[in-house]
Amino acid sequence: MAETRHCRNDLHTVHGLERRVLGPTQGSDSASFSEFTGIQSYPTTYFNSDVYIRHSDGSEDLLASGIAQTTRDAPSSSGYQNATWVCPETVLASGDAIRVWNWIKIHIEEGAYSWITEPLMHGTLESSTWTFRRYTASTYTSTPPFYFSTGMLRWGSATYDTQIQNIVFSGYGDLGIRLKTNNGIIKIGVEPLSGHKLRTRKWDTTYGIPLLATGDGDASGVRIYDGSAVKALPKIT
């Protein structure tokens, strides 16, 4: 399952941390942040990112820093810039979230904002090439003896849709649902909601329980009638 995640301007709290939403749908409220420096000639502005996995206990693991870097050298320019990074295969624990920092570095100044996904219900973050698509800008103002060079990142709407493309997930997440069968206790898999009719809720987020064909390789022995056919709940092996 490949997803594009959009840097939105609305906030949510994930495992004790309030940050902007890194969501599967585009936002409508645009915003920006800038870094300034005051030197006579326009310096190169750098834009890059850090990626963390945030766990349900609030701890974080760094996957990569300073990645997918782009630059602006012109004193007046703006628009989308794309850069890529190869994400390593990463096994996800129940409820892990992806947190991304977007950095601006200009001369000796630097700063960043961060975004975070909802708690994810996938078994694995697959190795794939992510494309960071950022809306960036640079300006230079000269009114001697004052000089201001600015690097800017914009996000949050269709016009300024800073995003990450091709985040690839696989497998079901383990939300802790257990069922006792004749063959012992089995774990039931869940996914992001995505239209599933059978649902469960945790961490202020609703997740879906897929209903599989009984012959599916991930089908458990637990059966349910969905109104038209007998289906199986997914198992985590």
pTM: 0.83
pLDDT greater at residue 227 or residue 68: 68
State the average pLDDT for the chain: 90
Largest CA distance in the chain: 82
pLDDT above 70 covers a percentage of the chain that reads 100
Mean pLDDT of 79-99: 95
Mean pLDDT of 13-30: 95
pLDDT of residue 212: 87
| DSSP-derived pairing of the beta strands 173-181 and 184-192 | antiparallel
pLDDT of residue 41: 77
Please check the confidence at residue 42 and state whether its pLDDT lies above 90.
Answer: no
Spatial distance between the Cα atoms of 90 and 222, rounded to a whole number of angstroms: 29
DSSP assignments along 99-133, one per residue: EEEEEEEETTEEEEEEEEPPPP--SEE--EEEEEE
Selection from 167, 165, 19 nearest residue 92 by Cα: 167
Q: Of 59-68, 201-210, 223-232, give the range with the top mean pLDDT.
A: 59-68
Q: How would residue 101 be classed by pLDDT, with cut points 50, 70 and 90?
A: very high
Spatial distance between the Cα atoms of 172 and 133, rounded to a whole number of angstroms: 28
pLDDT above 90 covers a percentage of the chain that reads 56
Spatial distance between the Cα atoms of 221 and 234, rounded to a whole number of angstroms: 9
- Is-contact 151 72, C-beta < 8 A? yes
Q: How would residue 17 be classed by pLDDT, with cut points 50, 70 and 90?
A: very high
What's the DSSP call for residue 88?
A: P
Q: How would residue 196 be classed by pLDDT, with cut points 50, 70 and 90?
A: confident
pLDDT of residue 218: 82
Mean pLDDT of 141-157: 87
Structure tokens at 230: 């007998």
Spatial distance between the Cα atoms of 153 and 113, rounded to a whole number of angstroms: 10
